[in-house]
Amino acid sequence: MTSKNTDTKYFVGDIIIYDSGKIHGYVIKVEQDQVQVVNDLGNIAVLKLHQINNKMIVDNKRTGRDSMGNSIQVDDAVKVTNNKSIYKDKQGIIKKICKNILFLWDKSFMNISNGIFIEQCGNVTLKGYEFL
């Protein structure tokens, strides 16, 4: 969709910034005058285009470190291993890394958030790390 203010197009998978630059969101649905996002707090938000501050350019080559110190990047499979996480034992594919937050995809979340959920880098373990 096109924003009237900035003529920026938003697509599913984009990272947008809103709330005066404080919150980042992964776009999961685009409509004519609004987008739906999973934000870096783990909430689903519906935003009118005028509420969006900017679209963030995220380098898909960006890396992070998992709980074992392994390098993780987009398209890696990870498992949530932190006992305090509400997603403990969930697995997902990394779609974006933004500010130490992983936007992960798992088919069990399709009906809720188009498959996207979030977790901090340090709360996951790279799948297959035992073979490294």
Q: How many residues does the chain have?
A: 132
Q: Which amino acid is at 41?
A: L
- The answer to whether 85 and 104 have CB atoms below 8 angstroms apart is no
Local structure of 63: helix, strand or coil: strand
Q: What percent of the chain has pLDDT over 90?
A: 82
Domains and CATH numbers, the chain: 15-56 (2.30.30), 63-131 (2.30.30.140)
Query: What is the per-residue pLDDT across 77-130, written as a single tens digit (0 to 9) for each?
Result: 999 999 999 999 999 999 999 989 999 999 999 999 999 999 999 999 999 866
Q: What is the model's pTM?
A: 0.88
Query: What is the per-residue pLDDT across 45-56, written as a single tens digit (0 to 9) for each?
Result: 999 999 999 999
